[in-house]
Structure 1
Amino acid sequence: MTETDSSGARGGRTAEHRSPAPGDADLRRIGVHPDHWYPVALSRRVRRERVIATSFAGERIALYRGRSGAVHALEDRCAHRQVPLSMGVVDGEALRCCYHAWAYRGDGRISQIPYLAKGDRRPPRGVRGYPVREAYGLVFVFPGDPEKAEATALPDVPAFGSPDYRTMTFSRTVRCHYSFMHENLLDMNHQFLHRGVVGRLRPELLEQRTGETWVEARYLFTHTGGKRNRGASLLAGEGIGGSDSADVMTIRTRYPYQTLDLLPEGAARPAFRMWAAYVPEDAEQRVCHTYGLLTIEKPRIPAVMHLAWPFIRHFTERVFAEDRMAVEAEQRAWDEQGEDRNHEVFPLILNVREVLRANGVPLVPRTATPCAGLPDPLP
């Protein structure tokens, strides 16, 4: 793996970087690579013997939980009349279309057409079934080559389920290309945007590293004035009174996911750790769904966390709302201009753009061609 290293104002060496050349593909026309596990729903939304509709990059997906509790993911179109299977009825471990009651197994094979006799001719294939797994309170699907699913690991969220941390889950639609989200979190120079929530923060880039599939940045954060939100103080592990100590924040894009760890000064472990995935909803990938897991260190006194939880939730929602406002404005500018006219000067962001561009796939116009590799029906 290729790796470069650079440091900020603390005397380290500076990594070489380059501005995008004229022949480089516009990053906003690069789609996410499908050969990864992507969350498409909260587990609690997929109730037993119920079905819901979701999507990945314009592919409509019906998620249903069978009687056994297992979750299945199917192409959300009946092979008969193309009526959404998400309008259907769960029957044991099968899903029946609401229109003519065609039944599908969890792998997409047709298990029954009620009004046909056993020897009658049946359609040559069913619908696409997606590999599916549940973890961290989320339902993940593998939209790429199904033969690669077993060998592809789910993302690692080390603090999830730890007795030392409590998890807050986020699920929000953001009307922008997923790359804007990666850039927003990595570029902590935008703290002016959050001045009304966190006060005046001074971020100092200590170090940045990059490889073929990842980018990492370490910042030193110092609170330099202004009113600091109570939720921010609690989230940073500073207790009710707050503190002006310096915190080290480490942010990583490890394709296709993103993580953030905040280590308060003098602490042995992070006060909070965040994991996020930005899952495109539409075929042009100009709208994404953000799934986030924020794991927060529990204080010594359990009651403090209970009291602090609403403040932390309110704080994080306010910060996210401001970030969403900014990235959606970026997307609108791209839509109006028809191309990326950003004049980016921060080497870290140029590096993450290269990682996203190199690991993604070009977006191509969708055509109404049959899906390859669909399962044949059982005799």
Structure 2
Amino acid sequence: MNQISPVQTDTAAMAATPDLRRVNSNPDFWYPVAWSADLRKNKTLAVSFAGIPMVLVRPEEGTVFALFDRCPHRQVPLSKGTVNGQTVRCCYHGWAFGRSGRCIDVPYLGKGKMPNGVRTFPVREAGGLIFVFPGDAAKAESTPFPKLAQTDNPKYKTKHFSPRVNCHYTFMHENLMDMNHQFLHRRQMGQIKARFLGQDKGEDFIEARYSFMRCAGQQPLAERLIFGKHKDLNGKEQPVEEVVTIRTEYPYQTLRITDKDGDLIMDLWTAYVPVDKDERITQSFGLLSILRPQTPLLIDLIWPALGWFTNRIFLEDKEIVELEQAAWNEVGHDRNVEIFPVVKALRELLTRCGIPQDAAPQADAAPAAPAPCPTEPETTA
């Protein structure tokens, strides 16, 4: 009698579920789309979420606002236009749109009935980032806003990073959640082994905890400066000195490191934002907060070494997830055989919380419908 292997069982189970790489990001969350420093006053900035073109506008006074980045007249990007007061004026025929999306001026039309406006997106600015709510705007106020590492805590110094990776966002979640891939980083980290300490999960999150044991090789300088020197135990198993907790709380991901006393040493928050319509290009936005050492200015001295170290690690991860995407592209479906329970639970979470591709709204169908009346006066110069 033929025996069915666990691998065959897993393959059959995956065939009965949606292809994870065809599950789109759920737009009903707050997503970062730009750094605050990249949008100057009286300027526009073109950004994109899953193929939806958006223009961010920072007027001389008041908060940033976001519009669908197409003038309804000839579909020219509004991001090519100019900012006047609380409006952005199309570079082609000078149509002007206020922060409510309403068309408030057509220079050659007079003051009669104005044409339809453009779609608006709720905007929030925090932690040096500009967030938009790409989904149902009515849900924006009731949707929790993420905690952004330790950006408001003076005891920590925070590094910004925003790499673009040519892969589906789900590969990024899997990569960070599964610390069993440390073999990939052996040139940067030396020989270390991840020890799985347990997991927790709920309707919208999955969390895994690890500690690391050095098997051989020298401890990297940046790691030693942050966590302290790990003692050489002459081959004996190292005790748990730091606990690494990785959590995907849809759609965000965090990595927190605490010492043996439970004090927070490092706090990473990251979001993976789809850029293109097919969600094969991901713009990452990350905030990495490091606890300042007791020695004044030491963190500033080690900051370049930390940046070099984390960038080298990321480049190895970037190469591997892009190779995973290339393999998916070759066959057009997900052939991964996953055996690690945490990642299996993560895949279920991402499938459950995301939007199947065939049910997702089309990016080019973003409406240029009449906008509601503004809640504050809109003026144009």
The TM-score with structure 2 as length reference comes to 0.89
Partners of 1:222 and 1:247 within 8 A in 2: no
Letter in structure 2 aligned against 1:289: Q
Letter in structure 1 aligned against 2:30: W
My pick for the range that moved more, 244-253 or 135-144, is 244-253
Q: Residue deviations 1:113-143, cap 9 Å, x none?
A: 1111112x432x2111100000110000000
Q: Residue deviations 1:159-217, cap 9 Å, x none?
A: 22112111001111111100000000000000011111111111111101211110000
Partners of 2:188 and 2:220 within 8 A in 1: yes
SS in 2 for 1:302: coil
Q: Residue deviations 1:345-374, cap 9 Å, x none?
A: 111111000000000001138385462764
The residue aligned with 2:74 is 81
Q: CA deviation at 1:344?
A: 1.1
Q: Which runs of 4+ in 1 moved over 6 A?
A: none
- Gapped regions of structure 2 (runs ≥ 5): 1-8, 233-237, 375-381
Q: CA deviation at 1:29?
A: 0.2
SS in 2 for 1:78: coil
Whether 1:252 and 2:244 are equivalent positions in the alignment is no
The residue aligned with 1:291 is 285
Partners of 1:134 and 1:140 within 8 A in 2: yes
Partners of 2:125 and 2:131 within 8 A in 1: yes
Q: CA deviation at 1:229?
A: 2.1
1:369 and 1:160, CA in 2 relative to 1: closer, same or farther beyond 3 A?
A: closer
Of the three residues 329, 332, 341, the one matched with 2:323 is: 329
Alpha-carbon distance in 1 for matches of 2:141, 2:372: 21
The TM-score with structure 1 as length reference comes to 0.90
The residue aligned with 2:371 is 375
Alpha-carbon distance in 1 for matches of 2:149, 2:318: 27
Aligned CA RMSD, in angstroms, stands at 2.0
**How many residues align structurally?**
357
My pick for the range that moved more, 367-376 or 248-257, is 367-376
My pick for the range that moved more, 367-376 or 267-276, is 367-376
Alpha-carbon distance in 2 for matches of 1:221, 1:107: 51
Alpha-carbon distance in 2 for matches of 1:367, 1:198: 41
Whether 1:168 and 2:159 are equivalent positions in the alignment is yes
Of the three residues 29, 35, 59, the one matched with 1:36 is: 29
Letter in structure 1 aligned against 2:213: T
SS in 2 for 1:340: coil
1:158 and 1:194, CA in 2 relative to 1: closer, same or farther beyond 3 A?
A: closer
SS in 2 for 1:271: strand
Letter in structure 2 aligned against 1:281: V
Give 1:274-285 correspondences, 5 Å limit.
274-285=268-279
1:32 and 1:370, CA in 2 relative to 1: closer, same or farther beyond 3 A?
A: closer
Alpha-carbon distance in 1 for matches of 2:337, 2:89: 52
Alpha-carbon distance in 1 for matches of 2:253, 2:364: 33
The residue aligned with 2:199 is 208
Give 1:56-205 correspondences, 5 Å limit.
56-119=49-112, 121-123=113-115, 125-157=116-148, 159-205=150-196
Q: Residue deviations 1:32-80, cap 9 Å, x none?
A: 1111000000010011111111100000111110111411111110111
Alpha-carbon distance in 2 for matches of 1:231, 1:35: 38
Alpha-carbon distance in 2 for matches of 1:31, 1:329: 20
Alpha-carbon distance in 2 for matches of 1:76, 1:318: 36
Whether 1:264 and 2:259 are equivalent positions in the alignment is yes
My pick for the range that moved more, 368-377 or 288-297, is 368-377
Partners of 1:233 and 1:243 within 8 A in 2: no
- Gapped regions of structure 1 (runs ≥ 5): 1-16
Alpha-carbon distance in 2 for matches of 1:21, 1:96: 50
SS in 1 for 2:28: coil
1:93 and 1:243, CA in 2 relative to 1: closer, same or farther beyond 3 A?
A: farther
The residue aligned with 2:4 is none
Alpha-carbon distance in 2 for matches of 1:69, 1:308: 38
Of the three residues 351, 356, 359, the one matched with 1:362 is: 356
Partners of 1:230 and 1:242 within 8 A in 2: no
The residue aligned with 1:4 is none
Letter in structure 1 aligned against 2:253: Q
Q: CA deviation at 1:109?
A: 0.9
Alpha-carbon distance in 1 for matches of 2:320, 2:219: 21
Alpha-carbon distance in 1 for matches of 2:143, 2:24: 19
Partners of 2:81 and 2:90 within 8 A in 1: yes
Report sequence identity in percent.
Answer: 46
Alpha-carbon distance in 2 for matches of 1:200, 1:28: 32
Partners of 1:111 and 1:377 within 8 A in 2: no
Partners of 1:197 and 1:228 within 8 A in 2: no
Q: CA deviation at 1:234?
A: 2.4
Q: CA deviation at 1:228?
A: 2.7
Whether 1:340 and 2:334 are equivalent positions in the alignment is yes
